[in-house]
Chain A
Amino acid sequence: MSLSTSSEVVVRTRHLGKAYQLYAHRSDWLKQVMFGWYKTYYKPFWVLRDVDLDVYRGDSVGILGRNGCGKSTLLQVICGMTLPSNGELRVTGRIAPVLALGATFDAELSGRENILIGGAVMGLTRAEVLRKFDSMAKFAGIGDYMEQPMKHYSMGMRTRLAFAICAHVDAEILVVDEALAVGDAAFQRKCLDWIDSFRRKGTLLFVSHSPAEVRRLCNRAIWIEDGRIRAQGEPSVVIRAYHRALAMEKDDVHRFSVSE
């Protein structure tokens, strides 16, 4: 499997699979912990199967797929939040996950205090956060609300602040999961501009339901269905195939049930 440019591969997966353990009874996990070496008490629910992916340095990859197809799980696995069940994963470089904006926010604290915590979680030191604070405040553009408790923020303001933190993390690989849906058009443009500039020095993995964003930001697109890669390649080609499939297939209500 050695490619000539293998030193340039920052994310490589081979036969990557992820199964969640579904238990029929609440107490079965305990049996699994105690007797797991003897018998399996859960039903594996495969959310990712046989994902082969190579992301090269400087790539920006758009990931398409319907809800529950495994996009977010793939990103979580790549970021190292959860371990894959089988297959091989190799990641080189510092990853900044923008999976759920504002996951670390505390409604009682002010924007300033939340920035200190959010920055620390993203791997910045306190000194770095304090140095970049003015720039973050400027990017967020929420003015005097910075000193208010976050419970008074609107959804859009939270998003602004969260993205401002992410934009100031010096990452080599940026992983963005449908994060920009909330902000207003002007702010979305600002974020897209920033991602655009990030693309020139780093690698981007980008989940979006907006074909326009993927076309604009990505040089490659991946379409995931039922945990497998269904198509990948030129964004416009993949997007067209994806949309054709969406139009053909109805929204299946049984999509999330475990197949026997």
Chain B
Amino acid sequence: MPSVKIVNGQQIVVEALDPAQRFSRFLAKPFLQMRYNREIVLAILRRELRSRFVGSAGGWLWAVAAPLFAISVYTFAFTTKLQMSFVGEQGQKPIAYALFIFAGLVVFNFFSEMAYRSPMLLHEYAHFIKQTIFPSDMLAVISTLRAAAFTAIGVVVLLICVGVVTGGLHWTVVFVPLVFLPLMAFLMGLAWFLCAIGAFTRDAGYLMINVVPLFMFMTPVFFTHTAMPPPWDILLYANALTSYVEVMRDIVLIGKLPNPLVVLWMLATSIFTFYFGYWFFDRYRNVIVDVI
């Protein structure tokens, strides 16, 4: 029988934990919560995925058509004089540039969708949070999974295009899921942080609308990190997205193993953001209910 005891606004947990136990509890908590709430997460995820295309005749075709359309537009752009001088090495086919940009955009669009939506996320589900017993921390998980589903379609389209254009895939594409997971964890942490801030103030949403387009040029979507002269390319890596874009291109387009330092940096930012975001959200979740 579940029993809850709350004294003076603090939930009383009747167990004494030493620091090590408390730390492992902290590490496990987001995953235990996801496991515990899996039914509700799946139900709402199913609804969100479906409602994105409810009322459209094309349905899921749109999810596949959008990336294909993007790739063809880039290809067209780079076969004509629109080609920008600093893009990539000379002597490559226009479609190679298109795929190069698309590989960066797949990662970046995942980020931008999360960054735009997260500040409004709790407002969108205010009814759920205020009037039902609802695990509000799962909203960030749901929106990450939703965006991940569309990103996954983009990645598959990318892989097919690479396969068709170059006549085969590099063996390194088996690591794609291993890039995807840290990226999801990174963005989930970001979503927890942004939606907690966004619950208090609408400014977070407006800030994102202004900041995300800038990030597009601080992330090597249209160029590589070599576009920056050596001492400054470190600055690019301060933007955590850079490492995801680079690793994604290395394993999908070039077919080489990425620089271990970059991978290490990617994992470190991912794990840190994930736990920082959850910690931040968890800290303010009880206040959020009253301000939303």
Contact = CB atoms under 8 A, between A and B. Distances in A.
A108 B51 contact: yes
Nearest to A72: B131
B43 interface: yes
B42 interface: yes
Contacts of A88: 5-8
A33 B200 contact: yes
A66 B184 CA distance: 49
Interface in A57-94: 76, 79-94
B289 interface: yes
Nearest to B55: A108
A109 B54 contact: yes
Contacts of A80: 4, 133
B43 A120 contact: yes
Contact of A30 (B9, B42, B200): B200
Interface string A88-103: 1111111101011001
A202 B47 CA distance: 32
A91 B3 contact: yes
Given A81-B131, A86-B8, A90-B3, A116 B43 contact: yes
B39 A100 contact: no
Given A33-B200, A84-B6, A85-B9, A117 B47 contact: yes
A189 to B, nearest CB: 25
Interface residues of A, number: 43
A88 B10 CA distance: 9
A89 B4 CA distance: 8
A133 to B, nearest CB: 14
A104 interface: yes
Nearest to A94: B2
Interface string B138-182: 000000000000000000000000000000000000000000000
B4 A86 contact: no
Contact of B134 (A76, A87, A94, A121): A121
B43 A93 contact: no
Interface string A181-218: 00000000000000000000000000000000000000
Interface string A105-138: 0101100010011011111111000000000000
Contacts of B129: 81
B193 to A, nearest CB: 13
Contacts of B286: 82-83
B211 interface: no
Contacts of A35: none
B201 A30 contact: yes
Interface of B: 1-9, 11, 39-40, 42-44, 46-47, 50-51, 54-55, 127-134, 200-201, 284, 286, 289-291
